[in-house]
Amino acid sequence: MSDYIGDIASLSKSKNVATVKSKSDSMSLNMQDFLQMMVAQFQNQDPENAASTTDMLNQMVQMSMIQAITNITDAVSLSYSASLVGKEVTVGTFDANGNLKEIVGTVTGTGTYNGSPVIFVNGETYSMSSIMAVGRLPDSKDPPTSPDSGDNGGDSGSSGDTKPT
């Protein structure tokens, strides 16, 4: 058991341990933090009530799954942002007064900034969440009619209730 703890301790100090990215939450744990906590638990456990290695391994598998899902999500986001290169997009930003400003331009490149995918439009960098539409948004002079407004878009003179016989 002490060899196992030594292996985990050396693993937790290694720089090669992949970490789960923390995009905005500095209170989250990465794999290295998790391994350090596990080593501390093994080193400080009560000999009369030893920790279950099965439970620890299950937790390691769960942490690895979370890490894999995060990596897949990041890869899909980067792939999508790369697919936008050369396409026209509408990006929404807020000006100094807090008013929404729509910018239309062609995506010239993509990348990451602080672990989040970004696009480059008209020489500026925008996050993927700023994209309002791929292409141009239609001019909104009149609000769209809702289905329950009574306007069915048909000819009001015909009943339209013909049934086949």
- Is residue 149 a part of any domain in this protein? no
* Domain, as residue range, for 69: 2-21+28-44+52-75
Residue 79, by phi and psi: left (phi above 0), alpha (psi -120 to 50) or beta? alpha
What is the per-residue DSSP string for 58-119? HHHHHHHHHHHHHHHHHHHHHHHHHHTTTSEEEEEEE-TTS-EEEEEEEEEEEEEETTEEEE
pLDDT at 18: 44
Task: Examine the domain organization and report whether 7 and 71 are in the same domain.
Answer: yes
Domain with residue 112: its CATH number is 2.30.30
Q: What is the mean pLDDT of residues 111-139?
A: 88
Q: How far apart are CA 75 and CA 79, in angstroms?
A: 6
Is the pLDDT score of 19 beyond 70?
no
Q: What is the mean pLDDT of residues 27-47?
A: 79
- Contact 39/8 with Cβ under 8 angstroms? yes
